[in-house]
Amino acid sequence: MKKKNKKKKGVPPGALRAILGVLALGLAAGHYAAVAGPAVRPGPSPGCAEFRFFYVGQGDCALITEGGCSILVDAGPDRSEDTVRSCLDPLAGGGLTACFFTHSDEDHIGGADMVLTRYGAGAVYMPGRRDDNPSMRLLSAAAAARGTDITGVSGGDVIIIGGLEVTVLAPLSLGEYDANEESLVLRIRHGAVTAVLAADAGLTSEHLMIRYWETSDLKCDLLKVAHHGSASSTGREFVELLSPAYAVISCGKNNSFGHPHATVTARLEAAGSSVFRTDVDGDLLFVSDGRTLTPPD
């Protein structure tokens, strides 16, 4: 891990903390090897990064690979374990470099215990404050069995994993606890290409990010839309500042919440985003060459 300092509008309590330990070291130009976990094979073409979003029903699960490194962001609900396993086996059979579990809701970490038990991870990151629920207890037990610590991170932390720079944009508040509003919002940069994965962050978290970060820090090519397209997230100002070319909504077919809400998809389209939905399009693959991002066919 390498620490970087970013220009901010203001520094909230707990931000800009150093994360101790190195996940990936450059052994030669363009070549990286994980220190705390095995490399992933097969991977994308050299110099490329792949952003995959798996259809796991009403939940979230994404895998980002670059060179020999892999980052899992969330693991779907418990009922999707077989799906997650079938997706990861050909891509992460040798293990995961890092897992980011954005918060402790079951639809994001229900499959986490299976992931950690089956694949292992060089590091596991979560918000500092978490719920005590059955899914969280299973995740913690699986990490402990692997001898892997769960590291708490918050807005301002930066982690370098291979050729990827992961910046934690949120959470930024230590006020009254709300699991969704304290979700990890991650910006993953590969060269000039940037993706923002917004977990279940709501309007309060969005407003804090708008106040804290420079506009240039929020711009992105790809947005994983917050909270499955709920109207409680993805506000107009936030969308306009991010201005993503592509937006991914991860939600279940005919889900009981009515996700994604029409106001959200309309807001994204008005901002010029091409909207993809896992309930309609299935698994999605975006490929970055460090300069441009190629969407699914």
CATH of the domain at 57: 3.60.15.10
- Report the candidate in 89, 93, 91, 159 with the shortest Cα–Cα distance to residue 124: 159
Name all contacts of 283-287 with Cβ < 8 Å and 24+ positions apart: 283/52, 283/53, 283/54, 283/55, 283/87, 284/52, 284/53, 284/248, 285/50, 285/51, 285/52, 286/50, 286/51, 286/52, 286/195, 286/222, 286/246, 287/44, 287/48, 287/49, 287/50, 287/51
The pLDDT of residue 8 is: 57
Residue found by looking up tokens 């804290």 in the block: 212
Nearest C-alpha neighbor of 65 from the set 35, 32, 112: 32
Helical segments of 122-281, H only: 134-146, 203-212, 215-218, 236-242, 262-270, 278-281
Domain contains 95: yes
Token pair belonging to 279: 């309930």
Tell whether 203 is covered by a domain: yes
Q: Is 267 helix (H, G, I), strand (E, B) or coil?
A: helix
In a domain, 1, yes or no: no
Confirm whether 45 is domain-assigned: yes
In a domain, residue 121? The reply is yes
Is 296 part of a structural domain of the chain? no
Tokens matching residue 118: 């089956």
Query: What's residue 44's pLDDT?
Result: 55
| C-alpha to C-alpha distances, 19 to 30, 125, 158, 233, 272, nearest whole angstrom | 23, 10, 8, 29, 36
Number of domains in the chain: 1
Among 212, 224, 239, 173, smallest CA distance to 6 is for 212
Structure tokens at 49: 């990064």
297 within domain boundaries? no
Place of tokens 């980002």: 64
Report which of 151, 108, 109, 137 is spatially closest to residue 21, judged by C-alpha positions: 151
Full pLDDT tens readout for the chain, 297 residues = 443 434 455 544 343 333 333 333 232 222 222 323 333 334 455 589 999 999 999 999 999 999 989 999 999 999 999 999 999 999 988 899 999 999 999 999 999 999 999 999 999 999 999 999 999 999 999 999 999 999 999 999 999 999 999 999 999 987 888 889 999 999 999 999 999 999 999 999 999 999 999 999 999 999 999 998 999 999 999 999 999 999 999 999 989 999 999 999 999 999 999 999 999 999 999 999 999 999 998
Domain that holds residue 245: 24-287
Locus of tokens 């009922």:
79
* 227 falls within a domain: yes
Question: Which residue, among 184, 67, 77, has the nearest Cα to 125 in the 3D structure?
Answer: 184
